[in-house]
A and B are shown apart, each in its own frame.
Chain A
């Protein structure tokens, strides 16, 4: 066998001597094998050792190994450098591996930065357009979620951090836990179902969403534990109209608007205010940690909204109606699923003796949630000129009830 000129050139570039090339040509090696080894720039000693193997083990199945692993279609020679927080995902977004295209071109699970070398088995991914999922902060939020991980079973002071509470306060805590534990359960389901829609080129988003699913599970767990540990128990499950708002998001962006932007704005503001209405250290810690988790989900939602609004031409005409639907679902839940607001009133009033004081504090909370929501949108320069009026009327009268229609406030 005579090696091709190209292979000889590659081999010499890798330091192969003329003697080695002669030995190769006299061996049972194939041109294809040697061509691949030359591509890999293997040293003279390696090649000599391999020729020994060929001579001594001609019948070994790997004597015919084609060494296709050296036919790499991807960029080589890159060396990521860990930073002060270790080797984060951002640190490996280098060279061609860090280029996130506007449209992902492969329907299978081939990782970004390489190519499928043979036949392609398509998955059922439906999202190939970067604008439909992307947020610049996903790459960091993923690592932050891992860094900020916590363990309810062993990191909360369940033995000493609780106190005997009056029955109505204990049941009110249990009621709040029932609602948000259930919300976490449905949040996890919805996030999970979208994973298989997102193509592999946007893996940072898939990874971040995995952390959100994980966080949602922990929310289910920790709030259930809190409801049951102190003699109270679970209460009334929420109506779940808000979940319809999440499910009504038939595109990923629409779902995120309902769950990660509108709902999470309210959830974060509630959890961050918890120090004002909780009565034990355990709850204080729980809601601090949950607020931190939910803040990441909100940040991703806002980051995505900003990206979508910038790069999707139809965004301006499309998004306002989705916000309206998401807000309407929240308003319906607040108006029709009254256990949550009443439990908050009891907690804020410190009992049932002065419920009016609790109502006043709930008004303050609703104002804070509303302001936070609009501030969040303003932080990404997203204009929401006419939020659903039910949100503001919850501030003036947080006890109002009744069904509201989405179209009642539509400008069209």
Chain B
């Protein structure tokens, strides 16, 4: 059950569950590696994706050998992108954190999710800092050290 948030961390599974505040569906593409049609998506303004059902034979079917494939493995990012071989199903809105609601959904079929920008970058973005300049210090003082 590894959780990563650095850029390019990724998970692959048979069923991924996600939480985000901004879901984008992107037009389908024929994936260069799998040679089949996949449905890309993007989770903006913080996303969290966890493997609920792992791939049956990861070593044989995995698209990227750097992906985590165990049940419970997860990635978290300011922005996460990915794809699924099946359409992303209807989503539900629920309580995402102490202060925000979030969209919850699942990606079925062979699915992949990848950290495009880390949460730290999201917190340090101009938009967030304009709204609350002290947010980085409040959330995690370690961010000030760099």
User: Do chains A and B interact in one complex?
Assistant: no
Q: Which residues of B contact A (CB under 8 A)?
A: none
